[in-house]
Amino acid sequence: MNEHYLFTMRLLKSHPILGLVNSYMVDSPQPASLSYMWNFGSLLGLCLVIQIVTGITLAMIKILLI
C-alpha cells in the first residue's frame, strides 16, 4: 500500500477528533439503497425549506416596517 495512505489512516484512527469524524463520516454503515441521487434530493429539499422559511420571514419583516 501507499505510505501516504497508511499514514493518513493511522492519523484518522489515532487522533481523537479526527477519529470521531472518521467514525461518523467514513466508517459508518450505509444501506445499499442509499445513492448519490437520494443525497442530492434531500439537499434540494433542505434548500427549498430554507428558502421558504427565509421568504416568509422577510415578508413579515417588510410588512412590519411599512
The domain segmentation of the chain, as residue ranges, is: 3-26+40-65
CB 51 within 8 A of CB 57: no
pTM of the model: 0.50
SS3 state at 32: coil
Integer angstrom CA distances of residue 63 from 53, 56, 58, 66 = 16, 11, 9, 5
pLDDT in tens, 15-62: 788 777 777 777 767 776 777 788 888 899 999 999 999 999 999 999
pLDDT higher than 80, residue 64: yes
Residues 6+ apart with CB under 8 A from 34: none
Rounded Cα–Cα distance for residues 3 and 21 (Å):
22
